[in-house]
A and B are shown apart, each in its own frame.
Chain A
């Protein structure tokens, strides 16, 4: 944008190379500050462990079968909650998007409930589904549901009405309208909803695991924390961030038009 105002103007062109250089510079800066703080001795014990210790822990984690087993548990819980949340969310979103009356009646409810912390329902889920994966899946599904239902409903209303008229003019039946026009036209908002739902599902599942569970990455984080294994804790957190970010990027790739 050549005509952009002074707020957005920059003398450095945003080439991929420059962007990469800036990112690397910031990363190196943060790592230096971290290492400096670690060596300064200002913090109690191992609260800010040295980079070397974290890297060693990272290496140990990656060859530890316990880590992989817990990762598998968390991934299965997240995927199951996403599948359930997406299935119900897309169905509810289509109904809300298609029906003005139901939309008036229920969309505000969904909308205003969506940012409430689902974790307060965790005790209820434990009572219903036990301390195992069931309660995390239920809670994760609940949190994914809101994002997916809302973006599906919005996507439904954004469909260009001309495409629906084209479908009608060629006498498409209900199923053909749904699968050949509505769903492909809503692909981007639905995938965006799934991406958001995925993010909240991971957060909720991990949160649930840290509260009360006997397996999963969240459980593992709490185990490492109670042992006060700070390098191990940071290594684990790094892996969780990488996994969550990677999954998000993957879905984002499909959501592009």
Chain B
């Protein structure tokens, strides 16, 4: 199924981030990683959260994924507040996270194995999603035989196979080169449109965010707050060709305007930390 026009989005948001605060440390050493963040993701929508390194993006990822249960405010799916990994949320990690002792198909079938799905059914379902990410001829390969981009596609297929309502990804392409990243972006867009998959992508990559998203949440650097939410009205279906369009350039420039200030604050911060270390070291 391909969608030539944007489908009307359901009223009920798939995910609500409501006034979420997360602090680390104690006493005078408290660092506020996420500071009163609020936004929501509608059904079928692709939302990116973008911010400079160290702005608390990964903290937010862990909170929404349920891996960080001790936070203030609420991340809600329907009426349920997330405080542990939720079946509706499927996580894809930044790090290479395939199981090296399992073949591609056994990696992808892993979540179904945990759920006790019968073997023949889980192989069929795994096969379907491996095909979708374009690795059909590598089903019996081990991760060590695959490139970085292929391993990330295995991870994405493994998460999709559990059919999560919300696909939550933390910089899945951060370790890949720019060309591979653009092509994988195409793949993601295609899959997202095929499944009408609600997706939340955490990234620091501006072109990636504009290429893929319906909306972009721009974060401030430390404490991480919502600086602005930008609607990306680029036509769908989209391919990486969009990267060359004027509208694309316009969005990138506009968001960079907001991001530059935050990124330079982050850079100044890490540089002063480095010079303190150098002075003391």
Q: Do A and B come from the same complex?
A: yes
Chain A residues engaging chain B, CB cutoff 8 angstroms: 160, 162-163, 165-166, 168-172, 176, 180-181, 184-185, 187, 257
Q: By the criterion CB–CB under 8 Å, are B95 and A162 in contact?
A: yes
Give bound CA distance, A209 to B72, whole Å.
66
A176 lies within 8 A of B93 (CB): no
B85 part of interface (Cβ distance < 8 Å): yes
Least Cβ distance of B34 to chain A in Å? 19
For A168, list chain B residues within 8 Å (CB): 67, 85
Q: Mark B75-97, 1 if CB is under 8 A from A, else 0.
A: 00000000011010011010111
Q: How far is the CB of A23 from chain B (nearest CB, A)?
A: 31
Interface residues of B (CB under 8 A from A): 65-67, 84-85, 87, 90-91, 93, 95-97, 99-102, 110-111, 113-114, 162
**A166 and B97 contact, Cβ closer than 8 Å, known pairs A171-B85, A171-B87, A171-B114:** yes
Q: How far is the CA of A163 from the CA of B101 in the complex (A)?
A: 12
Q: Assuming A170-B162, A180-B114, A185-B101, is B85 touching A162 (CB within 8 A)?
A: no
Most buried by A among B90, B91, B99, B111: B99
Taken together as a complex, chains A and B put the C-alpha atoms of A160 and B97 apart, in Å, by 9
| Chain A to chain B contacts (Cβ below 8 Å), 6 pairs | A162-B96, A162-B97, A169-B90, A180-B113, A181-B99, A184-B101
The residue of chain A having its C-beta at the shortest distance from the C-beta of B144 within the complex is A257
Q: Which residues of A contact B95 (CB under 8 A)?
A: 160, 162
Q: How far is the CB of A90 from chain B (nearest CB, A)?
A: 17
Majority DSSP secondary structure for residues of A touching B: helix
A146 to B273, CA, bound (A): 44
Q: List the A side residues contacting B100 at CB < 8 Å.
A: 257
- Tell me the complex Cα distance, A45–B75, Å: 88
Q: Using Cβ atoms and an 8 Å threshold, which residues of chain A touch B84?
A: 171
Distance (whole angstroms) from the CB of B268 to the closest CB of chain A: 31
Is B93 a contact partner of A184 (Cβ separation < 8 A)? no
**Shortest Cβ gap from A38 to chain B (Å):** 52
A257 to B110, CA, bound (A): 20
8 smallest CB-CB distances across A and B, nearest first, come from A169-B91, A162-B95, A170-B111, A162-B97, A184-B101, A166-B97, A171-B85, A169-B85
In the complex, A162→B155 CA distance in Å?
12
Q: Which residues of B contact A166 (CB under 8 A)?
A: 91, 93, 97, 99
| Most-contacted residue by chain B among A169, A176, A181 (CB, 10 A) | A169
Contacts of B91 in A (CB 8 A): 166, 169
Given A171-B84, A187-B101, 18 additional A-B pairs, CB 8 A: A162-B95, A166-B91, A166-B97, A166-B99, A169-B66, A169-B67, A169-B85, A169-B91, A169-B93, A170-B114, A171-B85, A176-B114, A180-B110, A180-B113, A181-B99, A185-B99, A185-B101, A257-B100
Q: Which residue of A lies closest to B87 (CB)?
A: A171
Contact at A163–B96, with CB atoms within 8 Å? Answer: no
Cα(A91)–Cα(B73), bound, Å: 41
